[in-house]
Structure 1
Amino acid sequence: MALEDAKTQVDTAFTRPERRGLAYENAFGGAVSFLRRTYTKDLSGVDLAVTGVPFDQAVTHRAGTRFGPRAIREASTLQPYDPPFGWGYDPLSELSVVDYGDVAFDYAKVSEFPAALHAHIKGILEAGAGSLVLGGDHYITLPILQAHAEKFGPLRVIQFDAHSDLWPDDDLSRIDHGTMMYKAVKQGFVDAKNSVQIGIRTECEAYHGFTVIDAPSVHRLGPEAVAARVKEIIGAAPCYLTFDIDALDPAFAPGTGTPVWGGLASWQVAAILRGLAGINLTGGDVVEVSPPYDPTAITAVAGAHVAMELLCLYGWTRRKG
């Protein structure tokens, strides 16, 4: 297939004959799925299931990330024409990747949401697929980590973020995007001593064992050195990567709930992520994309590119070639 196939390809989220391969449907038309992958609830033979979590009821400031999954999917329609630049392989052709749709939950029963999301991710993992999650606010990472830890044991985590999300909170009934990593550590889902936070630029009382490579350090050391340090910390053990879009400077991602200046540039993030090739990634997420605060949609574009890089990282150790 080639670009001229755009004149016959349409609604490939539902009509494509197979799950592997690039897609040439016009970016401006058709049913929108992530990277034009097939929408399906059938996970037979699937390597990676992309799923949306349109939840933003745990925010401390500006809401709007419930629209993040939809916006990231739309932005991703610019990407499925070619293999991702700089990786040297085509994960969309080598892996079976599907769009699993969104998690179902009752927005008026917020207390029931964690269990609903946990069950949703657990079902994906039990089917033998990995999960790539489009958020949603950062609270969603807690039930996701729980499901992953139940399968893989305590996880080593790579967290890109402006905030540590480690503020003390021992009330398990609270649902807060600023305390989810604290709870993940306290509940044993995360191996903090072999985990790392990148891009931090807000104060934190205690990091509970995490290695922190704050934003000024990234600027000073450079992406290659940061990636090498992260790989030293993570090693070969199963790990999870969570990417809060506010790790990027607001100049590159203004559409987020709690923007902080002095953040990472998109080129730095791209270089770091590509430098992590070879890590034993079990899954990942992109969170805190809030389209109402970005009429240009550049935040969603950044989110879609990060998600593609996570897909590439997941596929790197599972390549067929």
Structure 2
Amino acid sequence: MSKTHHQPLGGNQMPRFGGPATMMRLPSLPSAQGLDACFVGVPLDTGTSNRSGARFGPRQIRAESCLIRPYNMATRAAPFDSLSVADIGDVAINTFNLQKSMGIIEAAYDEILSHGCTPLTLGGDHTIALPILRAMKKKYGPVGMVHVDAHADINDNMFGEPIAHGTPFRRAVEEGLLDGKRVVQIGLRGTGYAAEDFDWPRAQGFRVVQAEECWYKSLAPLMEEVRRQVAGGPVYLTFDIDGLDPAFAGGTGTPEIGGLTITQGMEVIRGCRGLDIVGCDLVEVAPPYDPTGNTALTGANLLYEMLCVLPGVNYRN
């Protein structure tokens, strides 16, 4: 059965400050049925430990995405020519119960994946990666992962709680959701409580690329190595906006100085082209700390770059 190749609403059809408040002004559909890829919001910030506000991330990312046009001038990717893509709205999380929200999110992604659709997630705080990876394992088995972040997010607990935005990848390892030898964490930095903060993931087989290894250079050579490491199976791409330096993306809950530039973030995503990417997320955009909208605008563009590297995307000659 042929699929509908939905196109974003163009700026010459409707002014960019008008039209529907969907990701890239794509059609809003009730489910992922019939889609190759979907944008989906998870407006949860109950797992945050410092500044809340990421619950408003999906809405603001969508608002800023109105500036993005369908064709990637740099990479020549034309994702809407070859993939059926739409915005399927937000997961209706439980505002008052984080544990219940984990089950709600997992069930929502079970449904998305049942249609053979690749989800591109608008967060939300990084807690949401855990239920998404739980759903991924049921469909694909343990996945490889490319993880951009200032923090490793492998705490054993936070205030005694096993589920929070600083614990998802510790739980993911314990639950067998990740193929540790095919996991790379990029941009980790800042202060910590102990050397184990970065040594524990290394002990699981992860490659940890601290931010200092990224300063003053292109990350294209790094991504050649990353592709070789994580190839050979399904890969999940998770991008915490605080992986970027707060000079570029200050609208987030736990900013850390000395981070990646926007162009380095784009190099990481573009460097994932050719991998079997089965899902992506962009998390921790907190609009209350983003008065110019630049952080959400950056997040929207990075999500578009993720769409452009999905399997099946056509590239124009």
State how far apart, in whole Å, the 2-side matches of 1:296 and 1:267 are.
19
Q: Which residues of 2 match residues 50-129 of structure 1 at below 5 A?
A: 50-80=39-69, 82-129=70-117
Alignment partner of 1:230 is 2:236 = no
Instruction: Tell me the amino acid that sits aligned with residue 135 of structure 1.
Output: G
Q: Which residues of 2 match residues 17-32 of structure 1 at below 5 A?
A: 19-24=5-10, 25-32=14-21
1:172 deviates by 10
What are the superposed Cα offsets for residues 73-130 of structure 1, whole Å, 9 maximum, x if unpaired? 01110003x4023121210222110101000133123321100000001100001111
Higher mean Cα deviation, 226-235 or 251-260?
226-235
State how far apart, in whole Å, the 2-side matches of 1:113 and 1:63 are.
17
Instruction: State the Cα RMSD in Å.
Output: 1.9
State how far apart, in whole Å, the 1-side matches of 2:159 and 2:52 are.
23
State how far apart, in whole Å, the 2-side matches of 1:163 and 1:306 are.
19
What are the superposed Cα offsets for residues 251-277 of structure 1, whole Å, 9 maximum, x if unpaired? 000000000000000011112221221
State how far apart, in whole Å, the 2-side matches of 1:172 and 1:132 are.
31
User: Hey, what does 2:206 align to over in structure 1?
Assistant: 210
Counting aligned pairs with the same residue, the percent is 38
State how far apart, in whole Å, the 2-side matches of 1:320 and 1:85 are.
10
Instruction: Tell me the amino acid that sits aligned with residue 234 of structure 1.
Output: V
What are the superposed Cα offsets for residues 131-159 of structure 1, whole Å, 9 maximum, x if unpaired? 11100000000000000111000010100
State how far apart, in whole Å, the 1-side matches of 2:279 and 2:253 are.
24
- RCO higher in structure (CA 8 A, sep ≥6): 2
Q: Which residues of 2 match residues 235-254 of structure 1 at below 5 A?
A: 235-254=231-250
What are the superposed Cα offsets for residues 143-198 of structure 1, whole Å, 9 maximum, x if unpaired? 00000111000010100000000112499973210011110111000111211000
State how far apart, in whole Å, the 1-side matches of 2:297 and 2:215 are.
23
Instruction: Tell me the amino acid that sits aligned with residue 237 of structure 2.
Output: L
User: Hey, what does 1:34 align to over in structure 2?
Assistant: 23
| Contact in 1 for aligned 2:77/2:315 (Cα 8 Å) | no
Provide the secondary structure at the position in 2 that maps to 1:228.
helix
What are the superposed Cα offsets for residues 182-228 of structure 1, whole Å, 9 maximum, x if unpaired? 10111000111211000010341511321011111122552111111
| Contact in 2 for aligned 1:145/1:184 (Cα 8 Å) | yes
Alignment partner of 1:133 is 2:121 = yes
| Alignment equivalent of 1:46, drawn from 35, 40, 59 | 35
| Contact in 2 for aligned 1:61/1:257 (Cα 8 Å) | yes
Q: Which residues of 2 match residues 106-185 of structure 1 at below 5 A?
A: 106-169=94-157, 174-185=162-173
| Contact in 1 for aligned 2:51/2:254 (Cα 8 Å) | yes
Q: Is there any run of 5+ residues in structure 1 with no aligned partner, and where?
A: 1-17
TM-score (norm 2): 0.90
Higher mean Cα deviation, 261-270 or 220-229?
220-229
State how far apart, in whole Å, the 1-side matches of 2:158 and 2:94 are.
25
TM-score (norm 1): 0.89
State how far apart, in whole Å, the 2-side matches of 1:158 and 1:181 are.
12
User: Hey, what does 2:287 align to over in structure 1?
Assistant: 291
